[in-house]
Structure 1
Amino acid sequence: MTLSIEEIRAAKQAAPKARPRELARDLGIPEAALCAARIGQGATRINVTPDALIPRLTALGPVMALTRNESCVIEKVGVYDDYRSGAHAALVVNEEIDLRLFPAHWVYGFALEEETERGVKRSVQIFDAAGDAIHKIHLREESEVSQWAGLVDALRLPDQDPVLSFAPRKPTEAAKLNPEKLADLVAGWEALEDTHQFLRLCSKLKMNRLGAYRLAGAPFVRPLANEAVEQLLHQAAEQAVPIMVFVGNAGCIEIHTGPIRRVVETGPWINVLDPGFDLHLRRDHIAETYAVVKNTARGPAHSVEFFDAEGGLIAQIFGVLRAGEAAVTGWNSLVADLPGARQVEAAQ
């Protein structure tokens, strides 16, 4: 049953503190429909083509950048400096805000203002064709609020119709492997000079990331216990080992590089709660975990990568190769000590 704009507004008013993603799921509508229903009541449809939007965000000063998938949320505080345009993939690259943007998925966007107990909350929110959130930018107390109205006016679309048309959500691609191409996979893997070459190798062999990991085996891939992710975060914090965390969806990947300090468990969530960086991970969504090594010009890149029950990539954690030999050695030791999947099975 399709809800009317009035029904969506009433549901939002009845649950003012509900998280938008959860409220949309309960109502059986895309999250973007919640935003669209507020057009004329604190929401404005805007142009979210990255070339139009991202350079204008710099003027807002420090903001919070949020990217998520169903199982993991990453939040970084910083300024949207150093935007690099690209038709297929655009970039924001600086110490705090490090993003990979895929413009084809940036379909709907809104500038939102909402009255709260702490004052007016302002954000820019981007959604894909299915109405699922791609990326969000939240203003903070230290943001340049004086620049907000100009940004909204510059990006406002002529069409402010609150009724949007959404495409069906694309299902997650399950593991795709091609056992007949194992020898080619091994040869291609050995020839890697950059981690970015890996997905091109998989595509050439008609596989995907998870399929290749299941097929390859040692010395490239080691299946890990799913509890290994929790152990890794705790030990990286305790030993001050810098890490790179990649969290994303089809339209955006957000990256944290550096040490982590405070790791906290709350129900099914494991959280990193540091100044300028938060990570929220649903441990109970992790279905498969792998330690992976790929060759690069700087040396082998060791990562821990984990997937949900449908085969979707939740997140990847790498060491920081540019951080120096001691940091790389510390990271590689952490990964080597993680329990393998068979170790846990045997213990049970």
Structure 2
Amino acid sequence: MSVISEKVKDAWVAFSAGTAKGYAVDIAAELGVTEGELVASGCGRNVVRLDTDWGDLIARLEDLGEVMILTRNKNVVHEKTGTFGNASIGGEMGLVLNGDVDLRLFLGRWGHGFAVETQNAKSGRRRSIQFYDHDGTAIHKVFLTANSNADAYDALVADYRLENQAPGIDVLPSLPKPVTRSDDDVDVENLRAHWQRMTDVHQFHSLLKDFNVSRHQGLRLVGRDLAERLEPGSLRIVLESAAQSGLSIMVFVGNGGAIQIHTGPVENIREMGDWINVMDPRFTLHLRNDLIAEAWLVRKPIREGVVTTVELYDAEFSNFAILCGERAPKSPENPEWQKLAEGLPRFDGTQAAVAE
């Protein structure tokens, strides 16, 4: 285990006692460590290091009953309240499809897991299961609620508790970004042809991989009939319009190890400083509006027509959130969503014509 400084240990004690200001990820950054290292400094006290058989552990989360799950990246936090169940694990891939708990899990990126107990000035005692990447970056967190099964939590922690509870973890350097083709080396016409021949949205990732292009690069090159840049303020329009109309939407937020999905209406949209928020009883979203460097309207062919997505990118051209309309499998896209998305203002300042 890496050596943990007394400064880091003291910071964790203050944070977990509820006396420190700020979030764990921000406190860790100020100290020059990862959030995972900060949390691991509490092992042997209020943090329990857990076994690395993530598939088996995930299957046991159903026993907890109602929980609040959290997945984030550096630009957005996505929180849902629901119950685990209907989990399927195949090698390094995992799915949880249980209504409000809708997750895609990439378990090869999961390096560390902890049971964590802290105090919060507003909510009091907080208990959670937290998972981190090999580099110490948070992947996914599961928090108990007032309706959770506390006995099941205690049993899970006891069953998956590792013998080694020494403070600290060994972290790896972050993985390098994938190297893609230069624009000049991309056969754009072939990319367009294969894009237009898709029959399912899940073929999109394979398409980009086959052509060795990044997601943002593909949008830039493929042509405006398939991808158009939007005004960055399009997110606010989407959320407020959906709230006003009651339109059911899907909101995808992910990182290297997990994607978390909200499906349903949104109601309470609030802008506070640089943040735009959804503040609903069982779904909250906190997104740094000022970090939306680019927004794109993307059209992906399916057998039933087309799926239209609104995709958000930061200054490093990394995708950090995707929105679309709710759609049942093998069903066409909701025309009300399509009307909303196609009517969003384009980056050149023009308002798109809205189909009747």
TM-score range, shorter chain: over 0.9
TM superposition score normalised by structure 1: 0.93
Partner residue, 1:238 = 244
Quick one: percent identity of the two aligned structures?
36
Partner residue, 2:116 = 112
Matches within 5 A, 1:131-210: 131-172=136-177, 178-179=183-184, 180-210=186-216
What CA distance in whole angstroms lies between the structure 1 residues aligned with 2:350 and 2:197?
33
Partner residue, 2:78 = 74
Give the secondary-structure state (helix, strand or coil) at the position aligned to 2:48: strand
Matches within 5 A, 1:1-348: 4-14=4-14, 16-117=20-121, 118-172=123-177, 178-179=183-184, 180-322=186-328, 328-343=334-349
8 A Cα contact 2:66 2:145, kept in partner: yes
Question: Structure 1 stretches of 5 or more lacking a match?
Answer: none
What CA distance in whole angstroms lies between the structure 2 residues aligned with 1:326 and 1:238?
23
1:326 Cα offset (Å): 10
> Cα distance 1:202–1:251, how it changes in 2: closer, same or farther (>3 A)?
same
Give the secondary-structure state (helix, strand or coil) at the position aligned to 1:295: strand
Counterpart code for 2:65: G
Q: Which runs of 4+ in 1 moved over 4 A?
A: 171-177, 323-327
1:258 Cα offset (Å): 0.9
Which one has the bigger strand percentage? 2
Deviations 1:172-198 (A, max 9, x none): 558855444101111101110111111
Counterpart code for 1:158: E
1:99 Cα offset (Å): 0.1
1:82 Cα offset (Å): 0.5
> Cα distance 1:325–1:132, how it changes in 2: closer, same or farther (>3 A)?
closer
Counterpart code for 2:9: R
> Cα distance 1:172–1:270, how it changes in 2: closer, same or farther (>3 A)?
farther
TM-align CA RMSD: 2.1
Aligned residues: 344
8 A Cα contact 1:243 1:257, kept in partner: yes
1:324 Cα offset (Å): 11
What CA distance in whole angstroms lies between the structure 2 residues aligned with 1:171 and 1:285?
22
What CA distance in whole angstroms lies between the structure 1 residues aligned with 2:269 and 2:110?
32
What CA distance in whole angstroms lies between the structure 2 residues aligned with 1:140 and 1:17?
22
1:216 Cα offset (Å): 0.7
> Cα distance 1:177–1:192, how it changes in 2: closer, same or farther (>3 A)?
farther
Counterpart code for 2:247: V
Deviations 1:297-331 (A, max 9, x none): 33310000011001111100011122999981111
What CA distance in whole angstroms lies between the structure 2 residues aligned with 1:287 and 1:336?
20
What CA distance in whole angstroms lies between the structure 2 residues aligned with 1:342 and 1:49?
50
Give the secondary-structure state (helix, strand or coil) at the position aligned to 1:165: coil
> Cα distance 1:175–1:233, how it changes in 2: closer, same or farther (>3 A)?
farther
What CA distance in whole angstroms lies between the structure 2 residues aligned with 1:339 and 1:91?
35
> Cα distance 1:243–1:343, how it changes in 2: closer, same or farther (>3 A)?
same
What CA distance in whole angstroms lies between the structure 2 residues aligned with 1:177 and 1:341?
24
> Cα distance 1:175–1:335, how it changes in 2: closer, same or farther (>3 A)?
farther
8 A Cα contact 1:175 1:211, kept in partner: no
Counterpart code for 1:17: K
1:50 Cα offset (Å): 2.8
Counterpart code for 1:4: I
